[in-house]
């Protein structure tokens, strides 16, 4: 982590912080909002460092299938799921129920 002021990471953090309570989004959606839809993987990488920041609700970010792929990187094994369920999001088998219903499209101009 040489510098946490990397533009790319900053942008990812900025968007992640915009995620409203009880809402979730996908890495690709964030990547697209940044203009780098192909760098969806990078978004996940950024989240890896972002999950250390309390300002970045990484638990609200899942893959396009609504699977809690990143829960493995959290402290416990069900912490991410716990947080999501606490926000009214139903999670079964590491998968978000009605993912599309809770889906939130990030916007840089917001």
DSSP H or E stretch at residue 98: none
CA 20 remoteness from chain centre: 11
Cα–Cα separations (whole angstroms), residue 59 to 2, 3, 35, 109: 25, 24, 22, 23
* Beta bridge pairs of residue 61: 25
Instruction: Tell me if 69 contacts DNA by CB under 7 A.
Output: yes
Q: Does 78 bind DNA (CB under 7 A)?
A: no
**With contact defined as beta carbons under 8 Å apart, do 61 and 24 qualify?**
yes
Of 23-62, binders to DNA (CB under 7 A) are 26-29, 31, 36, 38-45, 47-48, 50-51, 58-59, 61
Closest distance of CB 88 from DNA, Å: 19
Interface contacts to DNA, rule CB under 7 A: 1-2, 6, 8-9, 26-29, 31, 36, 38-45, 47-48, 50-51, 58-59, 61, 63-67, 69-70, 72-74, 93, 95, 99
């Amino acid at each position: 982590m040489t510098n946490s002021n990397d533009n790319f990471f900053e942008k990812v953090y900025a968007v992640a912080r915009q995620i409203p309570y009880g809402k979730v989004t996908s890495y690709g959606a964030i990547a697209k909002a940044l203009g780098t839809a192909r760098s969806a993987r990078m978004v996940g990488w950024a989240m890896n460092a972002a999950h250390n920041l309390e300002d970045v609700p990484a638990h609200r970010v899942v893959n396009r299938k609504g699977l809690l792929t990143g829960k493995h990187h959290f402290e416990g094994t069900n912490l991410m799921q716990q947080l999501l369920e606490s926000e009214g999001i139903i999670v079964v088998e590491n998968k978000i129920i009605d993912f599309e219903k809770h889906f939130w499209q990030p916007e840089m101009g917001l």
